[in-house]
C-alpha cells in the first residue's frame, strides 16, 4: 500500500525506510506537529491541503495505523493507470483522513495492507495466553479433585431433587362471636361454638374444602362457659362497667384438647346479655381483634325483659354499624331469635319474637352492601316452641342436640353466602347424653346459730356439669326409729328408692323435691330434738332422667 508516510510525534512506524529524496524530506520537516490531544500511538487527525500538500510522486510504506482515504479513484481491479492495487493521491486533496485501528484489529490481521506487530509484542501476547490457559487448566483439575469431598452428603438427609417447595403460610381467618347465654353456654356444655369449630377444623383438613385449606381462629376477651353460681370468681375486670363477668366455667369433659389449648374457645358472649348492653362495645371488640367474620346471636333478653321490637331492631342496627365502622370489610352473620316453651304470664312473647324476627330480616336486607351482612335462620332450625323443646335442657337453652342445630344454621350461612367451610354441620343420629351421677359426700348438720329455729344445713360435693339438684327431706318419729323401720340407718339411694313403694314409712315420709342450683340447702324451722333424714340427686336437663338419689343422711335438731 502507498501513501504519505507521517507518524504521530514525528516517529516512523513500520520496518521500511522512507523513499522520495530531498523533496520528501522537506515535506516531512514542514509538516506541523500533531495535536497534543493524540495520546495513543496511532491517532486520527485532519490537515488541509494548504498546510499539508501531498506530492503526487511520493511513495513508501504506510504505517499500519493509517489509511489515506482522500481522492481515492480506483476500482477493484486497480487505479486509473491500470496498476492493480495501487492507490493514487490527487494533486489537491481537500483533506487527509487517518483512521484509528485498535491493536486487536492489527493482531487479527484485518486488512491485508497492515504491518504485523513487532515480534516482541506478539511474544508477550502469546505468553499471556499460555499463562491464562495454564491457570484455568490448573483450576479445573483442582475443582475436579475436590468435588467428591465437597459434595459428600451431610449427616441430615438432603431434600430430594423432586421435593416440592416449602408451602406458603396460610392466611389466618379470625371469627368473633357475640351473644348471650345461648352462645355462652353453662359449665359442662359443648356449646354450639365448639360444634362450629369442629366443622371448620374438618373443612381445613379436607383436600376438597373451600377454601382448600383453612387456618381458623376464634377471637374475643372470654374463653370459658358460665360457672355454677356458688363458685368463687377469680379476680377480673368487667369489660362492660357495672356488669360482672362470670366466664371461668369449663366445657364438656370430652371436648378436643385443641379447642382448649388454642385460641379456639375465645368469644364475646355472656349469660344474660342484651343487645342494648353490647351495641357500643362490640365495635371496640372488632377494632381490637380485627375479625374477618362477626357472628351475632342476640335479642332474646331484649324482647323478654327490657325492650320493644323497634328498640331491639335499632340496637341491632347500631351494633352492626359500629362493627363495620371499626372494620369496613368485616363479614357479618346475624341470627334471629328462637322460641321457647310457654312461661306463665308470658303469652305475649311468641308473637313478639316472630315480629322481631321479620323486622330483623328486613334490616339485614337493608344493610347488605356487597354481601357483607347475611341472615342466619336459627329459629327455623331450632326445634323449640310453646309446647315442646327437644333442643333445650330447660325450655330455652340448648342441650347437645340444640348445640348442633344452632351450629348447623350458622354453617349454612357461612358456606352458602361466604364460601367458608365445606358443606354444613351434620347432626349425628346419636346425641351424647350429659354425664349424670348422684352427688357424693352429702352432709347435714344443725347450723351454728344458738337458736331453736336455726336451720339444718345440707351440703354435698357438686357434680361437674349438673344444672342443679333436687333435695328431699323427711322427719322421723322416735317410735319409728325405735321400731327399726327403714330410715333407722343410713341407706343408699337405690335401697330407699326400691323400698318406697312397699314401705309405709317410705310412702308417707319423704316430702316434696326441692330444687336448688347451688350445692347446699337449708331446712328451716326444725323442732328441738327432731330427727331428719335428707337425700340429694343431680338434675342434668329436661331431656334425660335425673341421677339416682344419694345416700340418706340423718341429723338431730
- Neighbouring residues of 84: CB distance < 8 A, sequence distance ≥ 6: 77, 78
Per-residue confidence (pLDDT) for residue 247, from 0 to 100: 92
**Residue 189: pLDDT over 60:** yes
- Mean pLDDT highest for which of 34-43, 201-210, 366-375? 366-375
Q: Give residue 169's pLDDT band: very low, low, confident or very high (50, 70, 90).
A: low
pLDDT band at 381 (very low <50, low <70, confident <90, very high): very high
Residue 501 pLDDT > 50: no
- Residue 538 CA to residue 550 CA, distance in Å, equals 9
- With cut-offs at 50, 70 and 90, classify the pLDDT of residue 343: very high
Q: What pLDDT band is residue 171 in, cutting at 50, 70 and 90?
A: confident
- Categorize the per-residue pLDDT at 405 as very low, low, confident or very high, splitting at 50, 70 and 90: very high
pLDDT at residue 301 is higher than 60: yes
Q: Are 447 and 455 in contact (CB under 8 A)?
A: yes
Query: What would the CATH number be for the domain defined by 440-556?
Result: 2.60.40.10
Q: What mean pLDDT, rounded, does the chain reach?
A: 76
Q: What pLDDT sits at residue 251?
A: 97
Mean pLDDT of 256-276: 93
Q: Which of 129-138, 193-202, 431-440 has the least mean pLDDT?
A: 129-138
Among 121, 87, 127, residue whose Cα is nearest residue 104: 121
Choice between 399 and 204, residue whose per-residue pLDDT is larger: 399
- Alpha-carbon torsion, ordered 228, 233, 234, 235, to 10 deg: 150
Number of neighbouring beta carbons within 10 Å of residue 247: 23
Q: Check residue 147 and give its pLDDT.
A: 55
pLDDT at 105: 45
| pLDDT at 108 (0 to 100) | 44
Q: How confident is the model at residue 177 (pLDDT cuts 50, 70, 90)?
A: very high
pTM: 0.66
Decide which of 83 and 448 is more confident: 448
Which DSSP helix (H) or strand (E) runs through 350? Answer: helix 349-367
Most confident of 85-99, 253-267, 353-367, 467-481: 353-367
Burial class of residue 139 (count of CB atoms within 10 Å of its CB; 0-12, 13-18, 19+): exposed
pLDDT of amino acid 202? 87
Q: In the predicted model, is pLDDT for residue 539 greater than 60?
A: yes
In the chain, list all ranges with CATH 3.40.50.1110: 172-418
- Output the DSSP codes for 199-238: HHHHHHH-TT-SSSS-EEEEESSB-SBBPPTTSPPPP---
Residues carrying CATH 2.60.40.10, the chain: 440-556
Q: Band the pLDDT of 164: cuts 50, 70, 90.
A: low
pLDDT at position 21 over 50: no
How many residues are present in the chain?
557
Quick one: average pLDDT of 105-113?
45
Give the whole-angstrom CA distance, residue 406 versus residue 395.
Answer: 15
**Beta strand ranges found along 49-115 (DSSP E):** 95-97
Q: Of 13-27, 75-89, 364-378, 523-537, which has the strongest mean pLDDT?
A: 364-378
Fold adopted by 172-418: Rossmann fold (3.40.50)
Cα-flanking dihedrals φ and ψ of residue 496, to 5°?
-70, -40
Mean pLDDT, residues 496-505 taken together: 46
Q: Region 416-426: what's the mean pLDDT?
A: 95
Over residues 425-483, the pLDDT tens digits come to 999 999 999 999 999 999 998 776 655 556 788 999 999 999 999 999 998 876 566 55
- What pLDDT does residue 513 have? 94
- Considering only residues 161 and 388, tell me which one the structure prediction assigns the higher pLDDT: 388
Peptide bond into 448 cis (omega under 30): no
pLDDT over 80 (residue 110): no
pLDDT classification of 24: cutoffs 50, 70, 90: very low
- With 60 as the cut, is the pLDDT of residue 420 above it? yes
Note whether 490 and 541 are within 8 A (CB).
no
pLDDT at 34: 45
Q: If pLDDT is split at 50, 70 and 90, which confidence band does 80 have?
A: very low
List helix spans (H) across 118-161: 119-150
> For residue 135, what pLDDT is reported?
73
pLDDT score of 382 more than 80: yes
In what helix (H) or strand (E) does residue 352 lie, and over which residues does it extend? helix 349-367
Question: Does residue 360 have a pLDDT over 70?
Answer: yes
Closest CA to 95 of 47, 27, 43: 47
Query: What pLDDT score was predicted for residue 39?
Result: 39
Which pLDDT value is given to residue 313?
98
The answer to whether the CB of 218 falls within 8 A of the CB of 193 is yes
Amino acid at each position: 500500500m502507498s501513501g504519505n508516510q507521517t507518524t504521530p510525534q514525528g516517529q516512523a512506524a513500520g520496518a521500511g525506510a522512507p523513499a522520495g529524496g530531498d523533496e520528501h524530506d522537506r515535506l516531512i520537516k514542514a509538516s506541523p506537529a500533531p495535536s497534543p490531544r493524540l495520546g495513543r500511538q496511532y491517532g486520527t487527525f485532519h490537515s488541509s491541503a494548504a498546510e499539508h500538500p501531498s506530492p503526487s510522486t511520493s511513495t513508501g510504506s504506510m504505517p499500519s495505523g493509517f489509511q489515506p482515504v482522500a481522492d481515492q479513484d480506483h476500482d477493484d481491479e486497480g487505479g486509473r493507470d491500470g496498476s492493480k492495487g495501487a492507490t493514487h493521491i490527487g494533486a489537491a486533496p481537500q483533506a487527509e483522513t487517518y483512521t484509528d485501528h485498535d491493536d486487536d484489529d492489527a493482531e487479527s490481521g484485518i486488512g491485508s495492507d497492515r504491518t504485523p506487530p513487532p515480534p516482541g509484542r506478539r511474544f508477550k501476547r502469546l505468553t499471556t495466553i499460555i499463562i491464562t490457559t495454564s491457570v484455568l487448566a490448573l483450576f479445573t483439575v483442582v475443582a475436579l479433585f475436590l468435588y467428591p469431598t465437597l459434595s459428600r452428603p451431610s449427616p441430615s438427609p438432603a431434600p430430594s431433587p423432586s421435593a416440592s417447595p416449602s408451602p406458603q403460610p396460610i392466611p389466618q381467618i379470625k371469627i368473633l362471636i357475640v351473644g348471650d347465654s345461648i352462645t355462652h353456654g353453662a359449665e359442662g356444655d359443648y356449646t354450639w361454638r365448639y360444634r362450629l369449630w369442629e366443622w371448620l377444623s374438618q373443612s381445613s383438613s379436607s383436600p376438597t374444602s373451600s377454601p382448600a385449606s383453612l387456618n381458623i381462629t376464634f377471637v374475643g376477651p372470654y374463653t370459658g362457659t358460665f360457672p355454677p353460681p356458688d363458685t368463687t370468681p377469680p379476680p377480673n375486670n368487667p369489660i362492660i362497667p357495672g356488669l360482672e363477668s362470670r366466664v371461668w366455667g369449663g366445657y364438656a369433659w370430652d371436648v378436643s384438647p385443641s379447642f382448649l389449648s388454642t385460641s379456639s374457645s375465645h368469644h364475646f358472649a355472656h349469660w344474660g346479655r342484651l343487645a342494648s348492653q353490647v351495641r357500643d362495645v362490640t365495635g371496640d371488640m372488632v377494632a381490637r381483634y380485627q375479625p374477618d367474620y362477626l357472628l351475632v346471636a342476640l335479642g332474646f333478653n331484649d324482647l323478654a325483659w327490657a325492650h320493644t321490637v323497634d328498640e331491639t331492631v335499632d340496637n341491632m342496627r347500631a351494633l352492626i354499624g359500629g362493627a363495620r365502622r371499626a372494620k369496613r370489610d368485616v363479614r357479618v352473620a346475624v341470627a334471629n331469635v328462637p322460641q321457647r316453651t310457654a312461661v306463665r304470664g308470658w303469652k305475649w312473647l311468641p308473637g313478639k319474637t316472630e315480629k322481631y324476627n321479620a323486622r330483623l330480616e328486613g334490616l339485614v336486607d337493608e344493610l347488605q352492601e356487597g354481601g357483607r351482612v347475611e341472615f342466619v335462620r336459627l329459629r327455623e332450625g331450632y326445634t323449640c316452641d310453646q309446647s315442646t323443646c327437644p333442643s333445650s335442657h330447660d325450655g330455652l337453652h340448648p342441650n347437645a342436640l340444640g348445640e348442633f342445630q344452632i351450629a348447623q344454621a350458622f354453617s349454612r350461612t357461612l358456606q352458602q353466602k361466604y364460601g367458608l367451610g365445606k358443606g354444613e354441620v351434620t347432626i349425628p343420629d346419636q346425641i351424647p347424653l350429659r354425664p349424670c351421677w348422684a352427688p357424693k359426700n352429702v352432709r347435714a348438720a344443725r347450723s351454728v346459730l344458738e337458736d331453736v329455729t336455726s336451720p339444718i344445713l345440707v351440703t354435698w360435693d357438686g357434680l361437674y356439669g349438673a344444672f342443679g339438684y333436687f333435695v328431699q327431706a323427711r322427719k322421723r318419729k322416735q317410735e319409728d326409729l325405735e321400731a327399726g323401720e327403714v330410715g333407722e340407718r343410713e341407706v343408699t339411694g337405690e335401697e330407699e328408692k326400691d323400698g318406697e313403694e312397699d314401705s309405709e314409712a317410705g310412702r308417707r315420709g319423704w316430702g316434696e323435691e326441692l330444687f336448688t342450683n347451688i350445692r347446699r340447702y337449708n331446712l328451716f324451722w326444725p323442732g328441738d330434738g327432731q330427727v331428719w333424714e335428707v337425700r340429694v340427686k343431680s338434675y342434668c336437663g329436661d331431656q334425660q332422667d335425673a341421677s339416682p338419689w344419694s345416700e340418706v343422711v340423718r341429723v338431730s335438731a
